[in-house]
Amino acid sequence: LTTLLGKGGGPTAVIAQSLVGAILRARLLGTTARIYGALHGVQGIVNQDFVDLTDVPEEDLELVAKNPGAQLRSTRDKPDQVYCANILRVLQAHRISSFLYIGGNDTSETLRILSTQAAAIGYDLTCVHVPKTIDNDLVCNDHTPGYPSSARFVGHAFMGINRDVMSLPGVYIGVVMGRHAGWLTAASALAKEVDDDGPHLIYMPERDFDMQTFLRDVKAVYDRLGRCIVAVSEGVHDASGKPILHSFKDLDTDPHGNVRLSGTGALADFLSEQVKHSLGIQRVIGDTLGYLQRSFPDASDVDRREARMVGERAALYASLRRTGSVTINRIGDYKVDYGLVDLADVAGKTRVVPDAFISDSGTDVNEAFLRYLRPLVGSDFRRAYSLRAPAVPKILLE
């Protein structure tokens, strides 16, 4: 019997923890003779691009676990029925009994097709989905490994930006990853310590984006404070669902047919120009937080631990020959419990930020969201602290 590990979709800061958790637990359980890794996910399977992880020293694995990114590489391939049949052919040839695939909801869908096809031909294959996505959009989960570390990065980023724009006033527009769900953009709110702290406006895909309302919002904050810090999801769209980025730029698509929203500063630059020209504000900065959000090597310790645990759980379920998707459920404030649900329950579904976490204005999150997020971002998440000192009376009179 051989267990195969692989990884699909975008990397996170804690992928390697899940990988190492699965390897070490599988060794401990002793129900698998060999442990393989597929390079570049399903693409590596059809190419028989496997490495043998059975005897990699534990000391090496522990060093590997601390690194961001996907050590087994990844793929954007989204297999159809024919592609899956090719995968099965290779898995059978290599006598794979369990396939543990780390990824988001596309990954879960791939496993669902595979396990259905395997059952149809009487091939005893256990498929376990190990959850990860910085988008935090998997259903059946309180949150998803990878998200806490990215939220930590975004929170810290806006904490610094808040200080920066206080030093040299202006308008700052920061574009954050997130196509359909605003979870990561919402994390920018962690930067606030006092009422006037930024971000002052948060735009998520859960609400339609209207340019005139946006400009009015920015002007109101700027008039009041002399500065305005804005966090915007890359996926913000108009009332028809068309991405704002799409309204002025021809866009590339990825192999899934998704329009690519990351990898360009175009949205931030476009919004900056609008503010500059419509509101006549001189100092307007457009930053795009970019790929650092998912790969910066400063993971949340909570995220590291949970990513390790979902990997370990996947190995456990595989040893019990149970197919499904590993889940994280919150118990109290703050502990978690792990479980397993049907692949079909998770596959292809998207969980957006619920209304209960969004303020009435639609441009902020509320205290309930912050209570949800705070335990995730790490025990050493930084707190801002402002200097307070009395003003000195003026002496010279103009």
Residues marked as catalytic? 135
Residue 170 C-beta: closest distance to a copy of itself, Å: 9
Q: Are strands 171-176 and 284-288 parallel, antiparallel or unpaired?
A: parallel
- Residue 175 dihedral angles phi and psi, to the nearest 5°: -95, 130
| Interacting residue with a copy of itself among 196, 208, 269, 342 (CB under 8 A) | 269
Q: Which SS3 state, helix, strand or coil, does residue 225 take?
A: helix
Closer by beta carbon to a copy of itself, 259 or else 266:
266
Closer by beta carbon to a copy of itself, 6 or else 324:
6
| Binding positions for a copy of itself, 235-254, rule CB under 8 A | 252
Closest to 128 (Cα-Cα) out of 258, 316, 295:
316
| Binding positions for a copy of itself, 368-387, rule CB under 8 A | 382, 384-387
Closer by beta carbon to a copy of itself, 223 or else 298:
298
Neighbours of 289 (CB within 10 A): 25
Closest to 367 (Cα-Cα) out of 233, 189, 204:
189
| Interacting residue with a copy of itself among 288, 323, 327, 363 (CB under 8 A) | 288
Residue 344 C-beta: closest distance to a copy of itself, Å: 27
Residue 266 C-beta: closest distance to a copy of itself, Å: 6
Rounded to the nearest 10 degrees, how much is the dihedral formed by the CA atoms of 100, 104, 110, 112? Answer: 80
Listing DSSP states for 12-32 in one string gives -SSHHHHHHHHHHHHHHH---
DSSP 8-state assignment for residue 99: E
| Binding positions for a copy of itself, 172-231, rule CB under 8 A | 172
| Binding positions for a copy of itself, 294-313, rule CB under 8 A | 294-298
Q: Are strands 34-38 and 50-52 parallel, antiparallel or unpaired?
A: antiparallel
The stretch among 100-108, 136-144, 160-168, 343-351 that binds a copy of itself (CB under 8 A) is 160-168
**Interface map 49-78 toward a copy of itself (x if CB under 8 A):** -xxxx--x---xx-xx-xxxxxxxxxxx--
What are the tokens at 392?
A: 């000195």
Q: Which SS3 state, helix, strand or coil, does residue 245 take?
A: helix
Closest to 373 (Cα-Cα) out of 148, 136, 133:
148
Q: Which residues pair with 35 in a beta bridge?
A: 3
| Interacting residue with a copy of itself among 265, 277, 348, 350 (CB under 8 A) | 265
Closer by beta carbon to a copy of itself, 52 or else 337:
52
Q: Is 81 in the site for a copy of itself (CB under 8 A)?
A: no
Compute the distance between CA of residue 166 and CA of residue 193 in angstroms, rounded to an integer. 13
Contact 24, 15 (CB under 8 A): no
Residue 372 C-beta: closest distance to a copy of itself, Å: 22
Residue 309 C-beta: closest distance to a copy of itself, Å: 20
The stretch among 199-207, 214-222, 258-266, 308-316 that binds a copy of itself (CB under 8 A) is 258-266
The stretch among 48-56, 97-105, 201-209, 355-363 that binds a copy of itself (CB under 8 A) is 48-56
